[in-house]
Amino acid sequence: MKIGELATATHCPVETIRYYEKEGLLPEPGRTASNYRSYDETHVTRLRFIRNCRSLDMTHEEIRALLAFMDKHADDCSGVNQLLDDHIAHVDVRIAELTELKKELQSIRAQCQEDQSVDACGIIQGLASLDTEPTRPRRTHLG
C-alpha cells in the first residue's frame, strides 16, 4: 500500500508517518518499481502501536524500548512492566504539578468576582503585578 493508504488505515497524517520513519520508530518501507514507498500490514500494526503509545503520553524513548521488547520477543515482560510502572510514576508527578497549577489559577480567579471594566479587573492587575519566579524545572520525563 502507498503512504496515503497507510495514513487512512491508521488515521495518521502522512507527515507523521514520515517523521516516525525518520526517528527510527517505523521501519523504512520497501519501494515499488516507480520508487513509491510500499507499506504492508506490519507497518499498519507498528504504526497503530506507536500511536496508541503516544495517546498514553509516552515519549519516543519509551516507545523505542517497548518496540525493542517486541522485536526481541523477550522471554518475560518484566522490562515492559517496569517501563509502565515508571511511566505511571511520571504521570503521578504530572498530576501533582497540574493540581498545583489549578490552585494557582483558582487563587488568581478569586481576585475578580464580578464583571467590571478590564482596567479594574483583579485578574489582569494581579497577573501584571505578580513577581515572576524562576522557571521551575519539570520533574517528569517529558522535561
For the stretch 81-125, pLDDT in tens is 999 999 999 999 999 999 999 998 898 888 887 887 888 788 888
50 and 10 part of one domain: yes
111 and 65 part of one domain: no
Q: Is the dihedral of CA 32, 14, 54, 8 positive or negative?
A: negative
Mean pLDDT of 54-81: 92
C-alpha cell at 104: 494557582
Would you say residue 142 has pLDDT above 60? Answer: no
The range of the structural domain enclosing residue 100 comes to 84-129
* pLDDT for 112: 82
Residue showing cell 464583571 = 115
SS3 25: coil
64 and 106 part of one domain: no
pTM of the model: 0.77
Yes or no: say if 2 and 36 are a contact pair by the CB < 8 Å rule: yes
97 and 66 part of one domain: no
Yes or no: say if 20 and 47 are a contact pair by the CB < 8 Å rule: yes
Final residue of a structural domain among 72, 96, 120 = 72
12 and 32 part of one domain: yes
8 and 64 part of one domain: yes
Q: Is residue 38 part of a domain?
A: yes
On the 0-12 / 13-18 / 19+ scale of CB atoms within 10 A, 138 is exposed
